[in-house]
Structure 1
Amino acid sequence: MTGEQSKIDSGWVNVPHARIYWEATGEPAGIPVLYLHGGPGGSLGRGGYRKRHDHSRFRVVGLDQRGCGKSSPHVQDDIDHLSENTTQALIEDIETVREHLGIEKWIVTGVSWGSTLALAYALEHPNRVLGIALVAVTTSSRDEIQWITEDVGRIFPEAWSDFLEAAHAEPGERVVEAYARRLAGQDRDDARLAALSWDRWESTHVSLDPNWLPGPLFEDEQERMTFALLVTHYWSNDGFLVDGQEIITRIHELNGIPGHLIHGRRDISGPAVTAWQLHRRWDSSRLIIIEDEGHGGPGCMVALTQAVQEIAAMV
């Protein structure tokens, strides 16, 4: 890879009620590769995604999704427009970036929540997609959200009991709904406490990954609040996908588009069954299970690099 030596072009595009940060690295005339980060609310971070692809061959594009990272405003500073932060809005933001950069088609990649967004984008704009390569595959279905916020507590009962107690759920309210309500509420001190509890739980349920180091996900309070607020907003609304099953039931529409579904066998927070279900319904997909890894380990990322190369060879 030549990532460290390549110039990074960057900027913002204006969309309704927000400015979306983008960056592009590598050969301007190269095969475009889009990276969609996790979360929701995880941001591009330090840009490690840029190092995964050959910059003499690819143009690697990343963006900070609406409300997080270098995009503005941050979600906690714009609660009045929270209802407009949806998967459909993110898809429109991606299209705005694509048009701004003059890209006709690209290879779409994503990790964790980024895989949900990648699939939702591809289903909406299949004619803009050369191929899809995903790690830690999710669809943000109601079943997946139920598992990661409640059912996986059977494996971590001590931590989940604390997580449940700290939710302060009202009668009939799901745990994720309780956190979403408090994080978006007027009492910002209570929202900060909810963000801390959410961070502790997130740090717990991925801890069977052998590469995972225990501790808080976010030391920075603003990043912690951004992540918790956006994750609970999306998950309490089933990813803003119809009936919480939209991707699974429509995935056959991507037949003919090459897809690589890369997943760690030890991913306890997002079991491999989701990637397997997608693969069974998507004829032009490959299922790649990394036996000794959890949620997006180094072996998964090597497989992602290889998948992009294989898709590029077909272009």
Structure 2
Amino acid sequence: MLYPPIEPYRKGMLDTGDGHQVYWELCGNPQGKPAVFLHGGPGSGCTPVHRRLFDPTRYNVLLFDQRGCGRSRPHASLDNNTTWHLTADMERLRADVMGAEKWLVFGGSWGSTLALAYAQQHSGRVSELVVRGIFGLRRAELRWFYQEGASWLFPDYWEDFLAPIPSDERGDLIAAYRKRLTGDDPVERLRAAKAWSLWEGRTITLMPSAKHQQSHADERNALAFARIENHYFVHDGFMECDGQLLRDAHRLHGIPGTIIQGRYDACTPARTAWELHKAWPQAVFHLVPDAGHAFDEPGILARLIQATNTYAGR
């Protein structure tokens, strides 16, 4: 189902001028349709399998590791690291690296959040928008997954998620984790990072996946993933108001798009995708009946590749 493996034909580092160097790579056909892939996390990174979502003969694809993660430097850094820093990075990559007037923006999970934020800021630069596993970055969504909702579905995994946090600090688990993920004790930091990351790794697919659990348990990956993701959730300046992305969905009108959502997605429940569809009615909406959150579940993957193929000739 995926396209065959390919290697980048060009790669480098974007110096942001404020302490970060962002890794980027270009792959596919240099004369092809411009596209950018936005990874989830936000503290994870792009991988070779992500290149394979696009027909390499028809697309010129830019992938990059967001600030603080993957091959970007410094590792696990929280300084100058917000949604709007990342959308600014995207604009520089589009103009200075890709050299494209417009590009297709493709993002899943946290990448959907970033894709929507960028498209609402720079609608004139977006030829098409493909988003999967929609995360609206609202307090209600955070409470669902990190406080009181998803725990009803995964009581065994939830017990492990609670383990690093004393019972008297469990009223605000995101804040309690932030205290440990940014503290001075490296042992406590790593324990908290592993527990935070593994909670998502265990719940990401409809069927339990050892592959996803293993990737989230890796020490280096877990530290960046947990620290940066938690940082975005508690940082006061990432949005103007609660629900901003859905409130401003009218800014997407006129952009052709596709929304892909697993019906049984426990990480980013289908309600947000449904609300986005209602606010952006010209987008094609696929509610995949036999899928959770991960992009590589068969029903999700088929829809993603269908979307990139649909837009390849536009």
Inter-CA distance 200–55: structure 2 relative to 1 (3 Å threshold): closer
Shift of 1:56: 1.4
Once residues 83 and 5 of structure 1 are traced to their aligned partners in structure 2, the CA distance between those partners, rounded to angstroms, is 33
Structure 1: gaps (5+ residues):
none
Q: Which residue of 2 aligns with 1:100?
A: 96
Partner residue in 2 for 1:42:
44
Q: Please give the alpha-carbon distance, in whole angstroms, between the structure 1 residues aligned to 2:204 and 2:159.
A: 17
**In the alignment, which residue of structure 2 is the partner of 1:156?**
154
Once the 2 structures are TM-superposed, how far is the Cα of residue 307 of structure 1 from its aligned partner? 1.2
Shift of 1:181: 1.9
TM-score by length of 1: 0.90
Instruction: Give the Cα–Cα distance (whole angstroms) in 1 for the partners of residues 142 and 93 of structure 2.
Output: 29
Which position in structure 2 is the counterpart of 1:117? 114
The answer on whether the counterparts of 2:165 and 2:177 sit within 8 Å (CA) in structure 1 is yes
Does 2:137 correspond to 1:134? no
Q: Distance in 1 between matches of 2:217 and 2:95?
A: 36
The match for 2:25 is 23
Matches within 5 A, 1:177-188: 177-188=175-186
Aligned residue type for 1:95: E
Shift of 1:219: 4.1
Is the CA contact (8 Å cut-off) linking 2:6 and 2:28 kept in structure 1? no
Distance 1:6 1:68, change over 3 A: closer
Q: Report the Cα offset of residue 281 of structure 1.
A: 0.5
Distance between the aligned counterparts of 2:214 and 2:7, measured in 1?
Answer: 32
Shift of 1:3: 4.7
SS at match of 2:31: coil
Structure 1: distance between partners of 2:130 and 2:36: 10
Correspondence list, 1:184-203, <5 A: 184-203=182-201
Q: What's the counterpart of residue 308 of structure 1?
A: 308
Partner of residue 175 from structure 1, selected from 173, 176, 192: 173
Q: Which deviates the most, 189-198 or 304-313?
A: 304-313
Could you tell me which of 221, 227, 230 is aligned with 1:229? 227
Instruction: Letter of the 1:72 partner, please give it.
Output: R
Matches within 5 A, 1:213-224: 213=210, 215-224=213-222
CA distance in 1, matches of 2:281, 2:109: 22
* Counterpart Cα distance in 1 of 2:65 and 2:237: 18
Counterparts of 1:238 and 1:264, CA distance in 2: 30
Asked whether the equivalents of residues 133 and 262 of structure 2 are also in contact (C-alpha less than 8 Å), the reply is yes
For residues 294 and 5 of structure 1, do their structure 2 counterparts lie closer, same or farther at Cα, with a shift above 3 Å needed? closer
Contact 2:6 2:52 in 1 (8 A): no
- 1:3 and 1:242 map into 2 onto residues whose CA distance is 42
- Structure 1 distance, partners of 2:163, 2:217, is 23
1:70 paired to 2:68? no
Shift of 1:224: 1.1
Of residues 131, 141, 144, the one that matches 1:144 is 141
> 94-103 or 122-131, which moves further after superposition?
94-103
Distance apart, 1:310 and its partner CA: 2.1
Gaps of 5+ in 2: none
Higher mean alpha-carbon deviation, 155-164 vs 32-41, is at: 155-164
1:55: Cα distance to partner?
1.4
In structure 2, how many angstroms separate the alpha carbons of the residues matched to 1:179 and 1:19?
27
Shift of 1:4: 3.1
Contact 2:202 2:208 in 1 (8 A): no
Deviates more, 1:165-174 or 1:139-148: 165-174
- Change in 2 beyond 3 A, CA 1:161/1:220: closer
- TM-score, normalised via structure 2 length: 0.91
Distance 1:169 1:117 in 2: 34
Contact kept in structure 1, 2:20 and 2:67, CA below 8 Å? yes
1:84 aligns with 2:80: yes
Q: 1:4 to 1:31 in 2, by over 3 A?
A: same
SS in structure 1 of the partner of residue 114 of structure 2: helix
Counterparts of 1:224 and 1:172 in 2: how far apart (Å)? 21
